[in-house]
């Protein structure tokens, strides 16, 4: 049974071979931004509301997957996206790549002090790339997550800790069932302070031996323009929770994280049970 790739229908393997529970992957999702401006306005008004969420999918989807995901707009041409503006005074951003950005959003959304998360693309040179371009691996971008946060409530170091608890840094140009440089793990720093903190965290986790090896492939790079993913990727784990859970479980992310971190991360949940 061949694994579907990120962006393909997570239920395809179950529909094809009923009862098989391999590590097949499907569509991945995350949380988008509603609007950074609106979200920041909420934050400044003290509402504490979080921004919308973002999601995304991967390369060549089979016909069934394409039909199932058409309501999200996956069959539509991608509209150009504007790069996110700088944060308002008093707020900061952190940018991480950890494979499927749908899966990266929930843990940050649950973190106190995070105002909004946006799924998107960064690390490449192509302006306003589409999902199809990025997932084809031709732009140099990585699927990424931009986190808007209040540093008075949560520190960048704490966000780094959340990040390391979501990825497998021991593989190059891959995260779980999604392969290619567009699925590399990376920390994109915004300034020298973040750069120093990112390198310090890398050394900390490398030397701890927690990942079973000291050969880690997570990149630490200066931030480039961050391009939000298309609207149909945003809020996917909220819009399509069942499909999202099928993808996440069959991709094996939670099983791996549980093997590393134990009770520090949620137990895998099989949506079939």
What amino acid positions are annotated as catalytic residues? 100
CA gap 28, 32 in Å, rounded: 13
C-alpha distances out from residue 231 to 56, 81, 234, Å: 9, 9, 5
CA gap 133, 252 in Å, rounded: 26
| Tokens 């946060």 belong to residue | 149
**Strand 174-175 to strand 178-179: parallel, antiparallel, or no bridges (unpaired)?**
antiparallel
Environment class of residue 85 by beta-carbon count within 10 Å: exposed (0-12), middle (13-18) or buried (19+)?
exposed
CA gap 3, 160 in Å, rounded: 30
H-type alpha helices, 70-175 = 101-109, 131-135, 156-164
């Amino acid at each position: 049974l061949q694994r579907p790739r990120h962006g393909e229908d997570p239920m395809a393997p179950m529909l094809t071979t009923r009862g098989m529970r391999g590590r097949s992957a499907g569509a991945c999702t995350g949380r988008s931004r509603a609007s950074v401006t609106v979200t920041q306005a909420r934050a400044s008004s003290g509402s504490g509301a979080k921004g919308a969420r973002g999601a995304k999918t991967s390369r060549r989807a089979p016909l069934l997957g394409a039909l199932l995901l058409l309501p999200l707009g996956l069959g539509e041409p991608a509209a150009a996206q504007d790069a996110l503006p700088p944060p308002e005074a008093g707020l900061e951003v952190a940018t991480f790549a950890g494979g499927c950005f749908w899966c990266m959003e929930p843990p940050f959304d649950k973190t106190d002090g995070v105002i909004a998360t946006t799924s998107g693309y960064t690390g490449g040179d192509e302006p306003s790339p589409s999902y199809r371009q990025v997932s084809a691996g031709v732009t140099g971008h990585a699927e990424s997550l931009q986190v808007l946060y209040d540093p008075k409530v949560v520190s960048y170091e704490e966000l780094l800790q959340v990040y390391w608890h979501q990825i497998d840094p021991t593989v190059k140009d891959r995260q779980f069932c999604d392969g290619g440089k567009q699925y590399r793990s990376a920390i994109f720093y915004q300034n020298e302070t973040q750069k120093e903190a990112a390198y310090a965290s890398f050394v900390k986790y490398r030397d701890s031996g927690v990942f079973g090896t000291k050969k880690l492939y997570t990149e630490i790079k200066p931030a480039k323009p961050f391009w939000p993913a298309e609207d149909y990727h945003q809020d996917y784990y909220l819009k399509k929770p069942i499909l999202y859970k099928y993808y996440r479980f069959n991709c094996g992310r939670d099983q791996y994280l549980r093997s590393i971190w134990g009770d520090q991360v949620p137990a895998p949940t099989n949506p079939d049970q």
